Chains A and B, each alone.
Chain A
Amino acid sequence: MTRAHQTRILPERFEKTWEHWLTGIRDWNVSRQLWWGHRIPAWYCPDGHITVSELQGGPAACGACGRPAADLRQDPDIFDTWFSSGLWPFSTLGWPDATSDLARYYPGSVMETGYDIIFFWVARMVMLGLALLDETPFETVYLSGLIRDPYGKKMSKTTGNVVDPLEIIDTTGADALRFALIHGATPGLDQKLSTARIENARNFANKLWNATRFVLGSRPASIRAGSPRRDPDAAHLGPAERWIRSRRAATIEAVDRAIGDFQFAEMTRALYQAIWSEFCDWGLELAKVRLADTSLPEAAREATWWTLVEALDAYLRLLHPVMPFVTEELWGALPRVDDDPDLLIVADWPAAEERDPAIEAELDAVIELVGGIRNARAEAGIPAASWLPVHVAEPMASGPTFQLLHPAIERLSRSRPLVIGTRSELATAAPGGLVVIAGDLEARIEIRQDAGVPERDKARLEKELAEAEGFLAAANARLANVEFVAKAPPAVVAGATARAAELIELVARLRARLEA
């Protein structure tokens, strides 16, 4: 272990090259016969003596023989530019003076730079930091990759594929550019940047904007405009609200872990998924039904609204480091608590929260069912707007969740009436209807027997069966692998076993439907 190894290098595979360079180095010639740079502070006297001086105007006399300054000639050379850059981590903090900045902020936390200059620069900063301050200048080196064009070509003026960041900012906004760049950022790896990725990031910003506008616009009349943010009343939380809160906790956990591991691309993926695919696609849709349900007590609708505000507040905080502008603007429009500052940039990072695994599992099933009904209808060519009667077999173990979400499921799957019964009742209900198998839940969609529908539905079920059989084969192969069973963590093996059991059940049920 050498002192240069007190610095952690990301990605770790660069530590090998680093080691190689540090052990195989030649002396560093720093003289440059250029003009633009720091002149070497060495003065020569006609008798051949060298006087090195740190005084701004040079030495008063030759250090060896005392000849006056007028007889001395300064070295015409300047330093290699990497010499002053090598002092950068501490010269910026006031070194060589013992400033309070130097005491407080040296060594730095992270040095983020391109992997192409690890030796030119990073190694020299470490070398000079150790030689002059006896301490490595940073804890972690994060090496970024290069940005390449969509075809993987290096951007260069000669190729003519250089993209000006300001042009992207002008057309799509800085947040979209930042999101796209971070989304593709893996330490030490180059990334291809496409217009599609930037547009996707811009759509994400728009989605967030519209979601916030929707939430602000759906405030129940019983809550006064400008009210400070309140925690939702726990006594009035429905399954959807509990799910939104649990997923918020899960996202905080995922983002914290990603940042801790310097996996910033993973951070953007977690947030994109949580905000768009969960909160907007399902959270807001489920909440809409409850907010519009005047049969519910006022307190229940208020709890729904405060749940949305609470989730949005957390998501804006979590997304702020990636998309600072739009999050700042939107957060400024949300209700706040007294402890909150005026600006998101200095607001508190969300604290970790307890998750609710039971409600997450139940809502997963509901989401799968609604998705399954939508998919079956679409494949059968049923117009999206039409309402159809649906029979659902409620799983034995389910609590009140399904009943409580009845109005939402009905609305989101265009199922009317939505009849809930047992599995045996289902067998006789809606003969010839579309069959939907979603996890533990099973549904029948009543349809008029138009020509072609049964064939299309059979084709869909066959496709689903083939898919399930494929997954099952893969799961069995994995479990048959002695290596895997012996070496994988027990929890992983247990998970794979459970998954295989689920698939066996699913295949059996799909086969049964097809044969009926």
Chain B
Amino acid sequence: MAERELDKAYAPADVEGVVYERWMAADVFAPDGAGSRADGSKPPFVIIQPPPNVTGSLHLGHAQRTAVEDLMIRHARMQGRPTLYLPGLDHASIAAQFVLDGILAKEGESRATLGRDRYLERMREFVERTRGVILGQQRRVGASADWGRLRFTMDEGSARAVRHAFSRLYRDGLAYRTEALINWCPTCRTSLSDLEVIATPTTGSIWLIRYHLINGAKGSPKPGEWITVATTRPETILGDTGVAVHPDDERYSALIGQRVSIPFVERDVPIVADHVVDRAFGTGAVKVTPAHDATDLDIGRRHGLASIDVMNDDGTINDQGAAYAGLDRFAARTRILEDLAAAGDLEAERSHDLVLGRCQRSDDIVEPRLKTQSSFERRRSPTEPSP
């Protein structure tokens, strides 16, 4: 074969595009391409590419990953191994919605105004554009991927795999549906996995609030008799269905079994004794909101307390919240504290170190909420001993 003449100086821009086309034309990327020189008797070398999100263009991190993967692939290919570099794209569910919601907001639209079908139509248009950008960028970096095997996490093949996997795991008892406390992001309006919640230490407050005791029979408040509870989230008062103290706490032993009235909603709830209560926290008496706190849900289940969700998906107080319905959760907190103070029921506010869960995507403060969810049992699969 005739040798080519080389230009005096190296101009990458004149060479790279031409060389990439030469590779494509020779069909050398696929292990079974026309130009492959793979030796079928050698062990295959396979990298399934981590699919980049279709949310925008690639950054340097992607370029590095592609460079490292492509290095291993090209080395194996030159060793004569049947070499598969399978490229793909990820639909990036929550991340993509986050980006599209931002675009829609500028147009004065939203998920709510478009509705599910039109929203998904807009999403497909968006993805179609970014897809071309991302694939073009990978070619520029020189990825010798088998483009004929390109996959997308939302293509029909993936959809089938998802349906089949879920059905099998459900049948095998590894997937189940249950009412559970989930991490709710009011900005993204979805639940999040624990991994998507960033634990953020912060200094907040602990408020001491008086709940008035009521006469069992008559249901009317006993004047001048109360129990002081401690809370870091006063807005959840609206969903309280009990007050809990430690069974061995002598300060409260006479009160166990008595009933109190929840401020504003005037709900008549019991004082229960539960070992989980920390006597050193606040006053040693805590309010119980099973729909918005994991410990409270456990207490509620042990004592048969109702679970009342007081929040809408967007983080505003729902119609369980009496006069506070419609207010954002933090506006409601402020108003509730003002109203408690006016009534003389806010005993104290103390500084308190706590850990807030924030959404990895939106940074919004995550709210624990009770919802019915599909879940996978983890313990039984990956750590199972080798047979």
Q: Would you call B190 and A34 a contact (CB within 8 A)?
A: yes
Inter-chain contacts of B45 with A (CB < 8 A): 109
Inter-chain contacts of B23 with A (CB < 8 A): 328, 343, 345
Q: Would you call B313 and A142 a contact (CB within 8 A)?
A: no
CA separation between A4 and B386, bound complex, in Å?
9
Q: Is B191 interfacial (CB 8 A cutoff)?
A: yes
Among A159-167, A385-393, A437-445, A500-508, the stretch in contact with B: A159-167
Q: Is B194 interfacial (CB 8 A cutoff)?
A: yes
Instruction: Pick the residue among B10, B22, B47, B140 that contacts A109 (CB under 8 A).
Output: B47
Q: Would you call B162 and A324 a contact (CB within 8 A)?
A: no
**Chain B, Cβ-Cβ closest to A228:** B1
Inter-chain contacts of B142 with A (CB < 8 A): 174-175, 178, 324-325
Instruction: Pick the residue among A31, A96, A317 that contacts B161 (CB under 8 A).
Output: A96
CB distance from A208 to the nearest CB of B (A): 8
Among A82-90, A277-285, A464-472, the stretch in contact with B: A82-90
Among A123-131, A236-244, A288-296, A300-308, the stretch in contact with B: A123-131
**Chain B, Cβ-Cβ closest to A175:** B12
CB distance from A34 to the nearest CB of B (A): 5
Q: Is A23 interfacial (CB 8 A cutoff)?
A: yes
Contact pattern, B 1-16, Cβ under 8 Å of A = 1, otherwise 0: 1111110111011011
- Central interface residue in A35, A96, A111, by most chain B CB within 10 Å: A35
**Chain B, Cβ-Cβ closest to A2:** B383
CB distance from A431 to the nearest CB of B (A): 49
Q: Would you call A326 and B189 a contact (CB within 8 A)?
A: no
Q: Would you call B167 and A41 a contact (CB within 8 A)?
A: yes
Given A29-B191, A96-B164, A174-B141, the answer on whether A108 and B373 have CB atoms closer than 8 Å is no
**Chain A, Cβ-Cβ closest to B58:** A165
Q: Is B283 interfacial (CB 8 A cutoff)?
A: no
Given A176-B12, A324-B74, the answer on whether A226 and B2 have CB atoms closer than 8 Å is yes
CB distance from A379 to the nearest CB of B (A): 34
Among B116-124, B212-220, B228-236, B348-356, the stretch in contact with A: B116-124
Q: Is A349 interfacial (CB 8 A cutoff)?
A: yes
Q: A-B pairs with CB below 8 Å: how many?
A: 387
Interface size of B as a range: 35 or more
Inter-chain contacts of A15 with B (CB < 8 A): none
Inter-chain contacts of B116 with A (CB < 8 A): 35
Contact pattern, A 127-163, Cβ under 8 Å of B = 1, otherwise 0: 1101110000010001010110000000100000011
Among B243-251, B273-281, B321-329, B374-382, the stretch in contact with A: B374-382
Q: Would you call B68 and A264 a contact (CB within 8 A)?
A: yes
Among A114-122, A408-416, A473-481, the stretch in contact with B: A114-122
CB distance from A245 to the nearest CB of B (A): 21
**Chain B, Cβ-Cβ closest to A334:** B3
Instruction: Pick the residue among A89, A320, A345 that contacts B48 (CB under 8 A).
Output: A89
Q: Is B180 interfacial (CB 8 A cutoff)?
A: yes
B-side residues, CB < 8 A to A, are 1-6, 8-10, 12-13, 15-16, 19-20, 22-23, 26, 28, 35-37, 44-48, 50-51, 57-65, 67-80, 82, 84, 86, 88, 90-97, 100, 111, 116, 119-120, 123, 137, 140-142, 144, 149, 151, 153-154, 157-172, 174-175, 177, 180, 182, 188-191, 193-195, 313, 371-379, 381-386
Can you list the 4 inter-chain pairs with the closest CB atoms, starting with the nearest?
Answer: A173-B12, A91-B161, A81-B93, A209-B10
